[in-house]
């Protein structure tokens, strides 16, 4: 989705403002966009200069090279069209009619039509179809000689969500910001002050950032950043982000997705070591969200998330029930945010989100918080909105995930559910300390087991070459294998655009089996011993309809199943779905590559969905 960057440079520093803006926008490309633009304050001519282009940042670079705007303070934006088609006119930044104000915006101004109509009645002419332009026009129209005061007057008139960065022609070294339900972070570096909607844009310059509070204003000059809320100056603490900028590069891999699949052993190790003392075989108490008393009082954990994070939640639901005996419910956040169910005594809510910014997940959390529930979050991004809103956060230590298709975030989310389930089981007295040690020793083997699967990537690649004509793929499994099948099908469809569906293996014959014929590939995941024979029987049902079969699990070399088998290393039933997922990720990746798809930036998708 849309991305914002901004920079105001100190005098006599060598940094080039245009380069910081363009580099920042390039680092935000992974979020998905269709056009991009920048605005700089040209001090000498006292004007705001715009450069905008449809398509890639390379197109914008060309425009910048041709027009050579000058300035040491500017804002930039990558746009993912919502109101108005991708075009230069609709591209951000937007200038107000008299060109005194330039605005970039993430989010949606829900009442923009009413505001636009009113402004048009007052004689204002609009140049775009966007909701954002009303903000620029309102700021210019209601300008009182002080942009902060003007913003304080304009913000209450806006409904919806926004992260705004604003240039005022009268103050060519200053950037004004404001936010409501859309992320925005600020930072000071040696060369000046920065802002961005996402830390990835700033990793080349700094690691210490400030988050702006909901409905707050920030004012950036080259030397300082000031924060204001309800007319009062605020002094928030900065947050240190421990990410390495090289982690946000491809490091020799063809795609971020493949690199991130190969990052998984490290991501699992880092996450595990943060929460668990592997040598002692204990969970680090201070990292866990429940005390013994709270664990015993827990009656239900409701988990809301979207997309891949939802699939991790489904996995979490099984783990919490099986391992800890805690009733759990995974819910799709876009539906759950409208749930009218009253909170239950002993219920705790959890939001799962890699980015920590997904609008529906945030709304579900806000809804539950308003009902008075204790709210936990599981996120990969320190200081993200969901992390800040929650009462307790468990961070996955996966590092920056750039590819739109989530891989390492998912695996570490499932690992955290494994750890949480073990901890709750131990605290509730259903798992002894000795048993816990054994389970932790199993967890500690996961990184190496994932490495072993990654080492067999050629097997996956070769199999994919035999699937050139395959356009319908079904993923079936039971219990946790069904949960991992949901993720396998999503991974494949989002990057290869092939039709893929996940079904609980026993459910197939209640309708969908009508679609199965010799043109289909059916991927059967069978790792759950309690239902193994039943899953294999379901496999025979699709074989009988002529489908080609691929079987994932642990099977002896001389297995009797007449089909391709990809084996995972020996492990418990609860950990097996983590390992089969790695095969599914590689399978999706090579299928998409064979079909020549834009793997890191699949069509129509955005990394972080910050609108409803």
Binding region for ligand AGP (CB under 6 A): 306-309, 353-355, 358, 361, 404-406, 494, 605, 608-609
Nearer to ligand AGP by Cβ, of 306 and 488: the residue is 306
Instruction: Let me know: does 551 contact 580? Beta carbons within 8 Å.
Output: no
CB of 463 to ligand AGP, least distance (A): 22
Nearer to ligand AGP by Cβ, of 151 and 489: the residue is 489
Nearer to ligand AGP by Cβ, of 217 and 599: the residue is 599
CB of 299 to ligand AGP, least distance (A): 26
CB of 205 to ligand AGP, least distance (A): 24
Rounded CA-CA distance 239/226 in Å is: 16
Q: Which of 116, 148, 368, 607 is catalytic?
A: 607
Whether 593 sits among the annotated catalytic residues: the reply is: no
CB of 482 to ligand AGP, least distance (A): 18
CB of 603 to ligand AGP, least distance (A): 12
CB of 157 to ligand AGP, least distance (A): 30
Coil vs helix vs strand at 369:
helix
CB of 7 to ligand AGP, least distance (A): 26
Instruction: Let me know: does 223 contact 10? Beta carbons within 8 Å.
Output: yes
Share in percent of the chain as helix, strand, coil (round to 5)? 40, 25, 35
Sheet of 225-229, strand order: 94-95, 101-109, 160-168, 175-180, 216-220, 225-229, 232-234
Of the candidates 325, 304, 324, which has an alpha carbon nearest to the alpha carbon of residue 313? 304
Whether 2 sits among the annotated catalytic residues: the reply is: yes
Coil vs helix vs strand at 323:
helix
Alpha helices in 402-479 (DSSP H): 408-427, 433-455, 457-465
CB atoms within 10 A of CB 603: 10
Nearer to ligand AGP by Cβ, of 268 and 440: the residue is 268
- Planar angle of CA 154, 160, 162, nearest 5 degrees: 70
CB of 374 to ligand AGP, least distance (A): 20
- Planar angle of CA 527, 531, 534, nearest 5 degrees: 110
Tokens of residue 545, six digits: 């309809």
| 315 phi, psi to nearest 5 deg | -65, -45
Nearer to ligand AGP by Cβ, of 17 and 611: the residue is 611
- As a dihedral over the C-alpha atoms of residue 128, residue 358, residue 197, residue 199, rounded to 10 degrees, the angle is -150
Nearer to ligand AGP by Cβ, of 312 and 523: the residue is 312
Nearest residue by C-beta to ligand AGP? 307
Instruction: Let me know: does 102 contact 136? Beta carbons within 8 Å.
Output: yes
Rounded CA-CA distance 260/50 in Å is: 36
Coil vs helix vs strand at 54:
strand
Q: How far is CA 23 from the centre of its chain?
A: 21
Nearer to ligand AGP by Cβ, of 423 and 494: the residue is 494
Coil vs helix vs strand at 8:
strand
Rounded CA-CA distance 487/581 in Å is: 8
Nearer to ligand AGP by Cβ, of 188 and 491: the residue is 491
In b/e form, how buried is each residue of 123-132, taking b as 16+ CB within 10 angstroms?
A: ebebebebbb
CB of 401 to ligand AGP, least distance (A): 9
Q: Is the peptide bond between 93 and the residue preceding it cis, with omega within 30 degrees of 0?
A: yes
Of the candidates 262, 352, 264, which has an alpha carbon nearest to the alpha carbon of residue 312? 352
Nearer to ligand AGP by Cβ, of 8 and 354: the residue is 354
Rounded CA-CA distance 311/523 in Å is: 18
Nearer to ligand AGP by Cβ, of 361 and 500: the residue is 361
Q: What string of DSSP letters covers 271-306?
A: HHHHHEETTTTEE-GGG-S--HHHHHH--EEEEEE-
Q: Which of 2, 17, 51, 571 is catalytic?
A: 2
Rounded CA-CA distance 281/313 in Å is: 25
Nearer to ligand AGP by Cβ, of 30 and 275: the residue is 30
- How many CA within 13 A on the CB side of residue 49? 19
CB of 583 to ligand AGP, least distance (A): 16
Coil vs helix vs strand at 70:
coil
CB of 115 to ligand AGP, least distance (A): 30
Rounded CA-CA distance 349/364 in Å is: 9
Catalytic residue set: 2, 607
């Amino acid at each position: 989705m849309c991305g914002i960057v901004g920079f105001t440079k100190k005098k006599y520093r060598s940094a080039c403002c245009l380069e910081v803006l363009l580099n920042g926008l390039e680092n935000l490309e992974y979020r998905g966009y269709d056009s991009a633009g920048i605005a700089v304050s040209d001090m000498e001519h006292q004007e705001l200069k715009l450069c905008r282009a449809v398509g890639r940042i390379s197109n914008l670079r060309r425009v910048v090279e041709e027009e050579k705007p000058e300035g040491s303070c500017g804002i930039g934006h990558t746009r993912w069209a919502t109101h108005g088609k991708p075009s230069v006119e609709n591209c951000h930044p937007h200038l107000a009619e008299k060109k005194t104000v330039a605005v970039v915006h993430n989010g949606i101004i829900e009442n923009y039509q009413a505001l636009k109509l009113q402004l048009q009645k007052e004689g204002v002419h609009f140049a775009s179809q966007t909701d954002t332009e009303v903000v620029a026009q309102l700021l210019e129209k209601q300008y009182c000689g002080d942009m902060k005061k003007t913003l304080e007057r304009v913000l209450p008139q806006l409904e919806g969500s926004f992260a705004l960065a604003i240039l005022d022609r009268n103050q060519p070294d200053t950037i004004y910001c404001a936010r409501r339900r859309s992320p925005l972070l600020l930072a000071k570096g040696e060369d000046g002050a920065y802002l961005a909607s996402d830390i990835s844009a700033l990793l080349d310059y700094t690691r210490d950032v400030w988050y702006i509070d909901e409905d707050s204003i920030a004012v950036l000059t080259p030397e300082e950043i000031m924060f204001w809320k309800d007319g009062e100056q605020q002094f928030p603490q900065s947050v240190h982000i421990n990410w390495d900028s090289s982690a946000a590069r491809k490091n020799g891999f063809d795609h971020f997705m493949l690199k991130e699949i190969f990052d998984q052993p490290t991501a699992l190790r880092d996450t595990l070591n943060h929460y668990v003392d592997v040598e002692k075989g204990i969970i680090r108490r201070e990292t866990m969200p429940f005390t013994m008393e709270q664990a015993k009082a827990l009656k239900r954990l409701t988990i809301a998330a979207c997309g891949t994070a939802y699939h991790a939640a489904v996995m979490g639901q099984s783990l919490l029930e099986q391992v800890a005996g805690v009733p759990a419910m995974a819910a799709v956040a876009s539906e759950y945010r409208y749930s009218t169910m009253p909170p239950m005594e002993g219920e705790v809510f959890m939001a799962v989100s890699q980015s920590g910014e997904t609008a529906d997940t945030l709304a579900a959390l806000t809804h539950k918080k308003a009902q008075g529930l204790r709210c936990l979050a599981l996120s990969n991004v320190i200081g993200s909105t969901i992390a800040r809103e929650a009462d307790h956060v468990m961070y996955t230590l996966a590092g920056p995930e750039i590819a739109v298709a989530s891989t390492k975030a998912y695996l570490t989310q499932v690992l955290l559910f494994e750890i949480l389930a073990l901890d709750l089981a131990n605290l509730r007295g259903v798992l002894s300390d000795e048993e816990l040690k054994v389970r932790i020793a199993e967890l500690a083997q996961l990184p190496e087991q994932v490495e072993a699967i990654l080492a067999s990537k050629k097997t996956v690649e070769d199999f994919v070459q035999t699937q050139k004509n395959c356009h319908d793929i079904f993923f079936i499994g039971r219990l946790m294998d069904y949960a991992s099948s949901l993720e396998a099908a999503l991974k494949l469809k989002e990057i290869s655009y092939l039709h893929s569906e996940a079904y609980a293996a026993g459910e197939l014959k209640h309708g969908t089996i009508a679609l199965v014929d010799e043109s289909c590939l059916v991927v059967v995941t069978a790792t759950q011993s309690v239902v193994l024979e039943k899953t294999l029987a379901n496999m025979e049902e699709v074989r009988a309809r002529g489908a080609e079969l691929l079987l994932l699990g642990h099977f002896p070399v001389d297995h009797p199943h007449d089909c391709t088998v990809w084996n995972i290393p020996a492990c418990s039933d609860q950990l097996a779905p983590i390992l089969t997922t790695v095969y599914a990720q590689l399978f999706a990746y090579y299928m998409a590559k064979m079909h020549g798809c834009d793997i890191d930036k699949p069509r129509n998708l955005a990394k972080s969905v910050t609108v409803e």
